[in-house]
Amino acid sequence: MLKRTLIGLIRSHEVTGDKARDPALKTRYYKLSKDKLWEEVTSLLKKLPKYTLLHEVKNVGEIVVTKRTMTGRTQDITITLFSINPIKSAVDIYSASRGSLGDLGSNYRTIMELFKLLDQRLSTYKSDN
């Protein structure tokens, strides 16, 4: 966690993906169709008090939300859902803080929070790859 805070002194964004060095930032896979995953993710986001759903582009698989941090900064978060095959989909998240200073690791913590909530909600559908 200290490493993330130190990186966050200069960097104000974080992203997940298959090639992420940090295993916690690897793309999440679920044994669900993209449409079903979309329903689960959007309904979860609408229940989270700290998050504001800005827009959804279902055909592209993109959901954009904002979150206010404890320090009052705003994070712009893009959640991308994509279909691997008819019964398997994946989720990636990009989170960036507005402003010029680093985020002290808050974007990393936001992604970890979202992944944890998704993994809890979709635990029976989680797939390693």
Largest CA distance in the chain: 42
- How does residue 3 score in pLDDT terms, banded at 50, 70 and 90? low
pLDDT tens profile 54-92: 999 999 999 999 999 877 889 999 999 999 999 999 999
Beta strands in 16-73 (DSSP E): 28-30, 51-57, 62-68
CA–CA separation, 15 vs 115, rounded Å? 12
Enumerate the domain spans of the chain.
2-127
pLDDT at 105: 81
* 5 has pLDDT over 60: no
What is the third-level CATH fold of 2-127?
TATA-Binding Protein (3.30.310)
| Count of H-run helices and E-run strands, the chain | 3, 7
> pLDDT, tens digit, for every residue of 6-56?
555 567 889 999 999 899 999 999 999 999 999 999 999 999 999 999 999
- pTM for the model: 0.90
- Using the predicted structure, report yes or no on whether residue 1 has a pLDDT greater than 90: no
